[in-house]
């Protein structure tokens, strides 16, 4: 029987909860990884969802392999620090970092593939539960707040429950 509607009705289904965590970070850009690492270092059980094959976002998969100066335009006050500088310090001994002092647009130029290795190591060292090749599909609301998210990967659909969700997907 043909349906002339422009919509397809899907049957209701139960979606298994695949992880329960304190914090779920959606998006494994550098920002997402840094948020996940900081939460894990503070003692949280963290799940990190990334739709591609590697962490780092545009810095790695987009091949934007520069970070701007860590100082203000007068080169007096630091404006970035924390895990960004920790990663720079981890890349320096590998010989994969070019530093341009007093350059406002690109103080650090790095090898994107080496950055992937360091981000993987940060995630692993922090004990974060990683989900690569996993797409965020939708939130599950309960009493007006996000109770879980639905994700999909090669294993199918699953739900991740957490107390806190961080959207680092853009």
**Per-residue pLDDT tens digits of the chain, which is 170 residues long:** 555 678 888 888 899 999 999 999 999 999 999 999 999 999 999 999 999 999 999 988 888 878 777 888 888 888 888 999 999 999 999 889 888 888 777 888 888 999 999 999 999 999 999 999 999 999 999 999 999 999 999 999 999 999 999 999 98
Alpha helices in the chain (DSSP H): 30-41, 82-91, 112-125
Could you give the CA distance from residue 78 to residue 163 in angstroms, rounded to a whole number?
33
The answer, as to whether pTM is greater than 0.75, is yes
The token duo for 55 is 């962490």
């Amino acid at each position: 029987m043909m349906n002339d509607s422009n919509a397809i009705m899907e049957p209701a289904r139960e979606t298994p909860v695949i992880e329960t965590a304190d914090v779920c970070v959606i998006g494994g850009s550098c920002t997402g990884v840094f948020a996940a690492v900081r939460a894990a270092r503070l003692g949280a059980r963290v799940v990190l969802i990334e739709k591609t094959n590697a962490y780092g976002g545009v810095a790695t998969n987009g091949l934007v392999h520069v970070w701007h100066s860590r100082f203000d335009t007068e080169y007096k006050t630091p404006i970035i620090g924390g895990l960004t500088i920790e990663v720079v310090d981890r890349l320096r001994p590998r010989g994969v970092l070019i530093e341009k002092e007093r350059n406002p647009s690109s103080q650090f130029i790095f090898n994107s593939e080496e950055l992937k290795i360091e981000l993987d190591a940060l995630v692993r060292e922090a004990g974060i539960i990683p989900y690569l090749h996993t797409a965020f599909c939708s939130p599950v609301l309960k009493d007006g707040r996000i109770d879980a998210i639905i994700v999909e990967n090669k294993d199918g659909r699953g739900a991740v429950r957490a107390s806190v969700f961080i959207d680092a997907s853009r």
